[in-house]
């Protein structure tokens, strides 16, 4: 169907049919659950029964058979034969559960993120889904906010690279192709910066901060051809995003050239009334439509008020037509007018369930995500003594649980994700003793701790050679509406680690969590700490292989881990301030009296069982050849006898500019795999774009001047040189 055909279709539609295309309701409204009494929900949303057949899309209905049947019922009642669009939250896997995005960011391997999204798309498409509400690309600097688990971290450049990989993974060359989904980037914009880390709270950023840090990853999605954009719940420039004309029309459409539909987040149009930007339902509908929010998710203000707004001259019908065209163009791009089921296929869906290739991919991705934070020679376990003489204690609430999927996991079925089972499988000759293994319930259910079985655990594990403490937070306490002010382990988990350390045996902490946690209180009592995240279906196998040395940790932090919640936000690319703290005993400088300024573990940090040496660091100017202003290179050598991976990171600092610049900014990275004794030379091209910034004239500019060019293994461990670039 070409654009003329779409325009012709729009011209044939009644205004109710048009407004229906701009409305998204849950599948039970459309009869997916025939046993449900819709009287209450429909009355609450002021919906007329005859409107339901006009609704254009639905969310989070799953299953090829069910969605094909739903599409059949809809098409039978659609006067113009316009198919439904099936959307869903497929964030980090569908039938196959992959690591949470924050963990996948820690791999520093965009190709792995792309692979996970490609498999998720295939499984979702076979189950009847057309579009996924992913990736979430919000920049995050506050781990109190539960949704940090959906982002790839605190850095705009890394988020942009990972976002483009995700869009490619879901959509491929064309989302119409078999096994592909349309992708919807979210949440536009700056949802990851709520005051106090409290979900849905106010966001207040200067335009310069928005432009340089919070907007780039969304633009990266647009540049990658993302099909849809979702608005955020928060305010931007004191206007809720769904009613923000500057954000949607000026930036997204005029500046960036985005032509696809924009959808509100869940009931966000309704929330403009609560925000106080709209006095009533009619004003909410008018302001959001005029701002450019094309589809209203799970509220009915467009349907209820649209016709009256047009007839009373308060809303131009051209705005509605424009939005409808975008929706129909997306349906057409997906091929739904020719095949409204797209890829829904019960046989293919069944074939992909537990597919061995997908399970293997889940493991290969999960193995790259954990970050080794500390190791005083206790890891890998297979170096301690012969396996048949090794006695290993495993304690804590994540010893045997399979609840390691993380928030937003579609597949919550039980699986072989247990750490203790994987360890037993990999070390059949070793003796394992478990203790204090009761699972940690969610704070959402007012469960604050595990039972105190510490004394019994100490007695059971007294004779072990090494003790693994499998600790963390309940996965339900991450994700949406899961903000926390205390990021420490629960009291009994901390006390358990202290008591086990008192046995004089090596203690290895494995952290299961969806955010950076405040682990300073246990750090001294642990001989090794592995940041395990929530790794999905391959959690047990990946962590076991890393612990025993079958695999070598290579993950790097994409969010800094604070010493204390009181430091937050504590991110690597901060401004220096006029009175920077330089480590001296001074009073009138920017410092805390009771805590370091620096994080406990910085962005980009991660240990390995290998050891790498850096040498021959050099930066040379190139005279603006093909847009390249300089080149930086460094040699990296594996000086250990263990093959391993090292992530070389490029940072840049603009010494003096019209506005203050961060102390450093990530501008590139390379992940190397080196054999013992092997050396690789890593080089980076430095372009004008890397050195440009948003100035006080509200434009991106490059200024000649002095720049610090840094290469190294983390944001806090770099070699640096200063050059003048004109």
Beta bridge partners of 393: 433, 467
Q: How far apart are CA 614 and CA 639, in angstroms?
A: 10
Q: How far apart are CA 215 and CA 404, in angstroms?
A: 31
Q: How far apart are CA 552 and CA 339, in angstroms?
A: 47
**What residues have CB less than 8 Å from 271, skipping those under 6 apart?**
233, 240, 242
Nearest 5 degrees, angle CA 538-CA 540-CA 545?
95
Q: Are 490 and 450 in contact (CB under 8 A)?
A: yes
Q: How far apart are CA 294 and CA 282, in angstroms?
A: 16
Catalytic residue list: 265
For residue 656, what are the CA distances in angstroms to 321, 590, 653, 675, 706? 49, 20, 9, 41, 7
Cβ atoms < 10 Å from Cβ of 322? 14
Beta-strand relationship, 528-531 and 612-625: unpaired
Task: Please return the burial class of 481, using the count of CB atoms within 10 Å of its CB with bins 0-12, 13-18 and 19+.
Answer: exposed
Order of all β-strands in the sheet with 644-654: 665-674, 644-654, 705-714, 717-725
DSSP string, 271-337: HHHHHTS-SSHHHHHHHHHHHT--BEES--HHHHHHHHHHHTTSS-HHHHHHHHHHHHHHHHHTTTT
Q: How far apart are CA 254 and CA 9, in angstroms?
A: 26
Q: Are 644 and 674 in contact (CB under 8 A)?
A: yes
Q: Are 205 and 233 in contact (CB under 8 A)?
A: no
Q: Can you list the positions of beta strands (E) in 109-180?
A: 131-132
CA of residue 686 relative to chain centroid, distance:
28
**What residues have CB less than 8 Å from 362, skipping those under 6 apart?**
93, 96, 97, 98, 116, 536, 537, 538
Q: Are 192 and 199 in contact (CB under 8 A)?
A: no
Q: Which helix (H) or strand (E) holds 426?
A: helix 419-426
Q: How far apart are CA 405 and CA 93, in angstroms?
A: 10
**What residues have CB less than 8 Å from 678, skipping those under 6 apart?**
637, 638
């Amino acid at each position: 169907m070409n654009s003329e055909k779409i325009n012709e279709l729009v011209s044939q539609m009644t205004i109710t049919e048009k407004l229906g295309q701009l409305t998204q309701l849950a599948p039970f409204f459309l009869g997916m659950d025939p046993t449900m009494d819709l009287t209450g929900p429909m009355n609450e949303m002021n919906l007329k029964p005859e409107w339901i057949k006009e609704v254009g899309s639905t969310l989070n209905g799953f299953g090829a058979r069910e969605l094909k049947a739903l599409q059949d019922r809809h098409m039978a009642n659609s006067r113009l034969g316009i198919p439904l669009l099936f959307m869903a939250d497929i964030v980090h896997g569908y039938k196959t559960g992959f690591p949470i995005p924050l963990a996948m960011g820690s791999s520093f391997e965009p190709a792995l993120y792309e692979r996970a999204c490609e498999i998720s798309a295939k499984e979702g498409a076979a189950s009847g889904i057309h579009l996924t509400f992913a990736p979430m690309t919000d920049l995050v600097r506050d781990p109190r906010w539960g949704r940090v688990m959906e982002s790839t971290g605190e850095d705009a450049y890394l988020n942009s690279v990972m976002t483009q990989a995700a869009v490619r993974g879901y959509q491929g060359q064309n989302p119409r192709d078999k096994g592909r989904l349309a992708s919807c980037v979210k949440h536009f914009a700056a949802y990851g910066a709520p005051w106090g880390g409290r979900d849905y709270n106010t966001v207040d950023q200067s335009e310069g901060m928005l432009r340089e840090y919070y907007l780039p990853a969304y633009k990266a999605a647009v540049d990658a051809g993302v099909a849809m954009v979702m608005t955020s719940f928060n305010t931007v420039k004191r206007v809720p995003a769904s009613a923000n004309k500057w954000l949607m029309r000026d930036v997204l459409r005029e500046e960036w050239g985005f032509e696809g539909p924009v959808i509100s987040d869940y009931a966000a149009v309704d929330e403009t009334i609560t925000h106080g930007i709209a006095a009533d339902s009619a004003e909410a509908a008018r302001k959001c439509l005029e701002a450019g929010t094309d589809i209203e998710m799970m509220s009915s203000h467009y349907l209820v008020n649209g016709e009256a707004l047009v007839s009373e001259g308060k809303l131009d019908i051209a705005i509605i037509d424009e939005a409808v065209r975008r929706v129909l163009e997306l349906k057409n791009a997906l091929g739904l007018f020719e095949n409204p089921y797209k890829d829904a296929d019960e046989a293919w869906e069944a074939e992909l369930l537990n597919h061995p290739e997908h399970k293997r991919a889940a493991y290969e991705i999960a193995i790259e995500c954990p970050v080794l934070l500390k190791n005083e020679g206790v890891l890998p376990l297979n170096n301690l003594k012969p396996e048949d003489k090794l006695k290993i204690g495993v304690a804590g609430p994540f010893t045997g649980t399979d609840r390691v999927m993380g928030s937003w996991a579609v597949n919550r079925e039980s699986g072989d994700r247990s750490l203790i089972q994987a360890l037993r499988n990999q070390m059949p000759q070793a003796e394992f003793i478990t203790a204090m293994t009761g699972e940690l319930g969610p704070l959402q259910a007012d469960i604050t701790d595990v039972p105190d079985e510490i004394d019994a655990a100490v007695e059971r594990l007294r004779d072990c050679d090494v003790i693994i403490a499998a600790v963390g937070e309940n996965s339900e306490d991450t994700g949406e509406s899961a903000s926390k002010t205390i990021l420490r382990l629960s009291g009994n988990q901390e006390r358990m680690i202290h008591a086990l350390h008192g046995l004089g045996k090596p203690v290895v902490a494995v952290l299961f969590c969806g955010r950076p946690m405040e682990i300073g209180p246990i750090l001294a009592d642990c001989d090794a700490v592995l940041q395990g995240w929530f790794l999905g279906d391959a959690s047990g196998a990946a962590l076991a292989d890393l612990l025993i040395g079958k695999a070598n940790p290579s993950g790097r932090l994409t969010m800094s881990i604070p010493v204390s919640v009181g430091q937050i936000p504590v991110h690597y690319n901060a401004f220096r301030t006029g009175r920077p703290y330089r480590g001296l005993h001074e009073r009138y400088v920017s410092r805390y009296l009771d805590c370091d300024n620096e994080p406990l573990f910085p962005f980009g940090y991660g240990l390995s069982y290998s050891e790498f040496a850096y040498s021959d660091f050099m930066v040379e100017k190139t005279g603006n050849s093909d847009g390249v202003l300089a080149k930086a290179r460094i040699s990296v050598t594996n000086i250990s006898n263990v093959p391993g991976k090292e992530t070389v990171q490029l940072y840049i600092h603009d010494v003096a500019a019209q506005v203050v610049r961060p102390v450093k900014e990530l501008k590139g990275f390379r992940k190397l795999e080196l054999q013992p004794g092997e050396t690789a030379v890593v080089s980076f091209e430095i372009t004008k774009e890397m050195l440009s910034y948003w100035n006080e004239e509200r434009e991106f500019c490059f200024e000649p001047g002095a720049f610090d060019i840094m290469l190294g293994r983390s944001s806090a461990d770099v070699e640096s040189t200063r050059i003048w670039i004109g």
